[in-house]
Amino acid sequence: MPFLSVTKTGLAVGAAVGSWHALWALLVMLGIGQSFLDYILKLHFIDLPLRVARFDWATAGALVGVTALLGFIAGALFALAWNGLNARSKADMPR
């Protein structure tokens, strides 16, 4: 099994998670976050009285930054676990 780069895997997962939340922040900024949330919850048979707050740049930045950081950590931990589970001794490595 191929080994995963801890840094590259962390960056890839962090970028994906951060981008997903940046898209959510964009929807809120455009004023369509509430409609989107209502639609997604309805698809899941969930009826909650939730209200999307007003857009704030600092909150949006914190959302994207924190989720990207947590995504990086999750990706790095995944790569470490993957590499640990697929470790081979040097004798088993092809020459």
Rounded to an integer, the average pLDDT of 48-61 is 96
Rounded to an integer, the average pLDDT of 49-70 is 97
Q: Is pTM beyond 0.85 here?
A: no
Rounded to an integer, the average pLDDT of 26-38 is 97
Domain boundaries, the chain: 6-86
DSSP state of 90: G
How many residues belong to the chain? 95
> What per-residue confidence (pLDDT) applies to 87?
84
User: Which three-class secondary structure state does DSSP give residue 15?
Assistant: helix
Tally of CB atoms within 10 A around 70: 14
